[in-house]
């Protein structure tokens, strides 16, 4: 490879924007193989670098995998998850590789090795050279004495968490993910009336975009689900066990309408609990957007930043410059956000200051800057904000973009490297990046106090009332009056 002036010869190879996985170039340098995720997981693609021709080799819908070739460059191996696959080059034929290996493990010795590895990694990579004032060697010795009494990974992960917790830092601890064979419970996309004590389950709400939310379904609030695949639901029956392993499978649901005294069956396809949670999240956001619209008489918009990542940013960007473009102000909700890295993007997006207006034949068409929000805003925070959901509100107030409303946010602004141990069911975290202020202090362990402190009490939450959101709307309307 000619390295001189290589920076001037950077070109884009793949034709489409996508989430990229592993890439590899054939031994003769003429073919690029790569994994890209457009929909439903990563698929294997092939590109002729001379002809600039790209084609889909295998629709795999799989997770991330690494790719390697053998020494001769005749075969390509996909290594990921529990399956290994081999593809012959250049024919492209793909087949699974089955193998079986037996070994005897000294688990106590392995745990000791992993314990030592965690000790070294924290010592070498922890963001703060003073280890937050902890004598790491002495602390390690204090916890090492428990090792001989541990004989399972549940307790070992707990030991790691207690030990690493002595560093008084976020983004660390041990986690154990056992390889359990479970029966995931599906969802019908319905909310039930828990005050109902008769046979079956009485529907309180048909969740929007759920399995029963379509024109051909007669399910509505008040209808009773009596049977699932022919099994009757009684007060003694846990109806959710009847939905085990039913996700994406046709399921017969027997229904009864107490108003019309009619009984009928509908065939539906239940969704996974994860998909149902996504619908409930969308419902939550829609309800709050409607509240803001009602309380402000259509003057304010509402966006929720679900996570500090690209997907959330695209949604926020689209909403504030799309459907809320003509609103006088915007409520930015960061509550329950688990983090990521978005503080700079949010700072830029909401820091617009109007400098001129486009006018077409006397009609105002667009304010400038047109790709940033240049009107008032306010931000919501709560105790469940974590990581960059601590840093983003801090930057928002530090740059004087607007006020913070809600509850204090714990000081958890570090960046982490989660490392899988030799036993892949065990993971631990190393906070490798701290965020230091000009005075030498760090955001980590520095609690962020809101400008207006207000809590959502359980009594109001169960009524569907969001006190924090209402206060934010009232405060922003006051600013608009000024």
Rounded Cα distance, 318 and 69, in Å: 42
Rounded to an integer, the average pLDDT of 219-241 is 93
CB-based contact 323:301 (threshold 8 Å): yes
Q: What's the predicted TM-score (pTM) here?
A: 0.85
pLDDT at residue number 79: 86
pLDDT at 277 over 80: yes
- Least confident range of 15-29, 115-129, 159-173, 297-311: 15-29
Rounded to an integer, the average pLDDT of 365-384 is 94
CB-based contact 74:65 (threshold 8 Å): no
Proportion of the chain above pLDDT 70, given as a percent: 100
pLDDT at residue number 92: 86
Rounded Cα distance, 123 and 117, in Å: 10
pLDDT at 363 over 70: yes
Alpha helix locations (H) across 255-387?
273-295, 310-321, 343-349
pLDDT tens readout for residues 396-418: 999 999 999 999 999 999 999 99
Structure tokens at 219: 């399910």
> Which residues are within 8 A (CB) of 91 and not within 5 positions of it... i.e. 6 or more apart?
none
Ramachandran assignment for 74, one of left (phi > 0), alpha (psi -120 to 50 degrees), beta (any other): alpha
Task: Specify the higher pLDDT residue, 37 or 190.
Answer: 190
Residue whose C-alpha is closest to residue 354's, from 376, 369, 372? 369
Rounded to an integer, the average pLDDT of 358-375 is 92
Q: Residue 217: pLDDT band by 50, 70, 90 thresholds? A: very high
Q: Estimate to the nearest angstrom the gap between the alpha carbon of 117 and the chain centroid.
A: 29
pLDDT at 81 over 70: no
SS3 330: strand
Proportion of the chain above pLDDT 90, given as a percent: 83
Residue 429: is the preceding peptide bond cis (ω within 30°)? Answer: no
Residue whose C-alpha is closest to residue 302's, from 463, 470, 462, 467? 470
Q: Residue 91: pLDDT band by 50, 70, 90 thresholds? A: confident
pLDDT at 82 over 70: no
Q: At what angle do helices 273-295 and 467-481 cross, to 10 degrees?
A: 40
pLDDT at 62 over 80: no
- Least confident range of 95-99, 106-110, 249-253: 95-99
Phi, psi of 20 (to 5 degrees): -95, 145
């Amino acid at each position: 490879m000619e390295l001189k002036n290589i920076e001037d010869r950077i070109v884009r190879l793949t034709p489409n924007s996508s989430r990229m996985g592993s890439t590899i170039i054939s031994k003769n340098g003429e073919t690029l193989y790569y994994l890209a995720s457009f929909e439903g997981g990563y698929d294997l693609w092939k590109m002729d670098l001379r002809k600039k021709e790209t084609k889909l080799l295998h629709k795999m819908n799989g997770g991330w995998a690494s790719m390697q070739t053998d020494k001769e460059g005749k075969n390509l191996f996909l290594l990921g998850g529990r399956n290994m696959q081999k593809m012959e080059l250049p024919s492209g034929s793909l087949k699974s590789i089955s193998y079986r290996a037996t070994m005897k493990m000294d688990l106590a010795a392995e745990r000791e090795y992993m314990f030592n590895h965690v000790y070294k990694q924290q010592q070498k990579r922890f963001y703060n050279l003073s280890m937050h004032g902890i004598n790491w060697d002495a602390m390690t010795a204090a916890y090492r004495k428990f090792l001989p009494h541990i004989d399972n990974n549940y307790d070992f992960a707990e030991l790691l968490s207690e030990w690493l917790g002595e560093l008084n830092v976020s983004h660390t601890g041990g986690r154990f993910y056992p390889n359990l064979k479970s029966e995931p419970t599906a969802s019908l996309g319905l909310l039930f009336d828990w005050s109902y004590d008769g046979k079956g389950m009485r529907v309180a709400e048909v969740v929007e975009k759920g399995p029963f939310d379509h024109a051909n379904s007669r399910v509505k609030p008040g209808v009773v689900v009596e049977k699932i695949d022919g099994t009757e639901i009684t007060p003694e029956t846990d109806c959710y066990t009847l939905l085990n392993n039913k996700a994406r499978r046709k399921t017969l649901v027997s229904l009864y309408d107490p108003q019309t005294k009619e009984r009928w069956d509908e065939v539906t396809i239940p969704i996974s609990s994860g998909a149902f949670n996504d619908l409930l999240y969308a419902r939550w956001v829609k309800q709050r957007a409607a509240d803001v619209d009602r309380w402000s008489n259509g003057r304010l918009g509402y966006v929720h930043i679900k996570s500090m990542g690209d997907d959330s940013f695209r949604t926020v960007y689209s909403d504030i410059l799309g459907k809320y473009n003509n609103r006088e102000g915007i409520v930015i909700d960061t509550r329950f956000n688990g983090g990521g890295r978005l503080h700079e993007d949010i700072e830029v997006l909401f820091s617009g200051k109007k400098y001129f207006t486009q006018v077409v034949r006397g009609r105002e068409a667009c304010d400038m800057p047109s790709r940033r929000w240049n009107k008032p805003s306010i931000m919501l925070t709560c105790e469940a904000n974590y990581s960059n959901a601590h840093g983003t509100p801090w930057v928002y107030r530090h740059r004087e973009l607007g006020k913070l409303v809600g509850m204090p946010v714990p000081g958890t602004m570090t960046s982490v490297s989660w490392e899988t141990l030799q036993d892949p069911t065990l993971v631990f975290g190393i906070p490798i990046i701290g965020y230091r202020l000009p005075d030498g202090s760090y955001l980590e362990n520095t609690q962020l106090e809101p400008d207006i402190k207000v809590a959502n009490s359980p009594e109001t939450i169960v009524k569907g009332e969001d006190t924090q959101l209402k206060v934010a709307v009232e405060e922003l309307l006051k600013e608009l009056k000024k």
